Chains A and B, each alone.
Chain A
């Protein structure tokens, strides 16, 4: 453990710490451009020069390992001069276009030029000009502003795992580009915008729409996937202008996927902003009162067992609980949250969450993926797996579709029946799991959605039980795709036969009224002759056969609790008001219950949350990785051989908000149009 002195303060740091990190530990700020905690050290911007005693010249603190007995000064005349010199060089070719630059106001170069620059330039030659590069629909480039810190290049190679960026030519002619100026083909590409310390790479959809200082920041949670990435929603007035990541070491570190970041324009398009009632086959706008009356008249004479509800992928737990209570007051318990027909079993919590946690991937040394594609289903988790593979020696095996996950994977074949062999120990994967210190089996929804889903669940449970249990280590991890799913399972929203049986009964006329809470991934053709009450945000699949539409709030417009795939409870914060007449979902159910004559026993969100906590222990312990109980779940059965259909066909179109987003459509176009139109059935 080296001990060094920084500006007169002694500090002892871990071996391998750099001088710059040591400076941070004692609270001394060192300016930098190329250095980034999560990327490899480049040492090419030279902004972090500090003085080291006995060294003939200033040292680059980001690249210098802290040594015992070093004496570092960061506030000497020489350091000041060095920083001014570096800054002056950087500004030689950097245009003075801050007033028209989107980075203005949140620019590292601007800030550091203010703090460490001379304020005057002695260079009176022409500045160099660089052609802008085409990087697809998400990233706007102004390459003249580039200072060649290489963060984007290192990010794409190291974190995103798509080594398509590089620096061509040399010296003054050096240019950063993507290979042949193609779209950076990564689900994480938007992060280069955050990484760029200047205005060379900025957000294309956000371009020239707002200034950073006029935005209101709201710290919230993402619902595009089940990871629950921490986000900051930036709004101006009633509009969400952009979404940025927030640091959460255990979930998303500081990355978010492109869908999370750029879906915001979907919040403004195709919105349901007033209630609708179907009158003579045509949906007509109605008042809330009329809509509620219509629901009441449709429910007249309908028995409890003729009522069912399907919950969508982005519902918050409060809404789900209120809907469950509403149905209960109507005499029905038939409410289903597994839109994709997954066999996930709500009986044992340890059986439907990621027991090891997302950060736990870094402690693991073997990971067996069963029917999941983390790259599309949870891109931030995938970068975590990639990090573990690169730095912590994680080995990965896969049963299911062979996809490029950006790291090395041993493909065992696209055949779920291999699980039987793994369980009996006659498979390579079994040996690997057995030999590993901290093995993980990660089951995706794709594997559980088939007819033999319950059998696969049982098999993976038994494999986990047999090979993946260590002291303080439960290696059974379920990967969800839907933000609402774990919350729904926590509330016990499962039914015998699942969504298929609800749809079958509706088609057969046995079910008369179906409530859809943002359920847009089911094929509603079966509900043609059923009374459908749709509560949701967008005019998507769910409204096709709806008889009554009750407009609700999207995730940026309400206070809602979501349990992520780890079972961690997190809450969204209302950043804007829902458009028009739309209301927060739970208040809709509360108001409707009043009209139906059986008022739900809560008037405030806090009362509702107190009610949920009775059913879901730990509901109010936010952001805690829970230790879940373990038990038996799934159903023993035959696993048919054959491929596992992927859970996500089109990463950019997995939910109604994304399908309404023009930016997501542009992303698909840029990749040659993966799928013409979303089917709404989602596998």
Chain B
């Protein structure tokens, strides 16, 4: 069994960690545990290990179990290796009403994996998540840090295709509307809209 090299901050991440710690009064550095876990997860390629949690516990001078409590409470910390693209499909009521079942089926079909699994090439991990908080644009899929909204089975398949081929994909609504503005263009303040922003 090979042992992975011990986890240490990169210089850049160390600076970022210090920036978060500096937000809190002296002696309250433990408050920075969540952003630090996030930074560490990114540095480690998408998931946390026990070793990393212990490193952060030590870094923040807190009990390891307290870090573990936080890291296991929040679903956005992963405890198993994940693919390059973490496809997080929202299945909560508004998305479900707007067809998240189709989206999930499309993802499964395209990626050939079940929920919680990673594709063999290590490119995609598929998960179902609770409300992503973008109900107005339902159905929604979050892939890594970007939201893809107003999806259909076709559009999510195209997005996954593009990502698989290393192409850039436009994040946000996939139906041509501006953020969460009404579908089909503005319905009020039309003059304002034509003159200024969003024209």
Contact = CB atoms under 8 A, between A and B. Distances in A.
Interface string B56-69: 00000001111011
A163 B65 contact: yes
A137 interface: no
Contacts of B64: 179
B192 interface: no
B100 to A, nearest CB: 21
B63 A168 contact: no
Interface in A150-170: 157, 163-170
Interface in B124-178: none
Nearest to A177: B65
A164 B63 contact: yes
A169 B69 CA distance: 7
Contact of B69 (A167, A178, A180): A167
A169 B65 contact: no
B73 A166 contact: no
Interface in B30-88: 50, 63-66, 68-69, 72-73
Q: Dominant SS at the B interface?
A: helix
B39 to A, nearest CB: 22
A39 to B, nearest CB: 17
A177 B69 CA distance: 10
Contacts of A163: 63, 65-66
Contact of B72 (A168, A178, A179): A168
Contacts of A179: 63-65, 68
A158 B64 CA distance: 16
A170 B68 CA distance: 12
A179 B50 CA distance: 11
A169 B63 contact: no
A98 to B, nearest CB: 30
A168 B68 contact: yes
B73 A169 contact: yes
A127 to B, nearest CB: 22
A169 B66 contact: no
Interface of A: 157, 163-170, 177-180
Given A169-B73, A178-B65, A180-B50, 19 more contacts: A163-B63, A163-B65, A163-B66, A164-B63, A165-B65, A166-B63, A166-B65, A166-B66, A166-B68, A166-B69, A167-B69, A168-B68, A168-B69, A168-B72, A168-B73, A169-B72, A170-B72, A177-B65, A179-B65
28 contacts: A157-B63, A163-B63, A163-B65, A163-B66, A164-B63, A164-B65, A165-B65, A166-B63, A166-B65, A166-B66, A166-B68, A166-B69, A167-B69, A168-B68, A168-B69, A168-B72, A168-B73, A169-B72, A169-B73, A170-B72, A170-B73, A177-B65, A178-B65, A179-B63, A179-B64, A179-B65, A179-B68, A180-B50
Question: Which 5 interchain pairs have the tightest Cβ spacing?
Answer: A163-B63, A166-B65, A179-B65, A168-B72, A166-B69
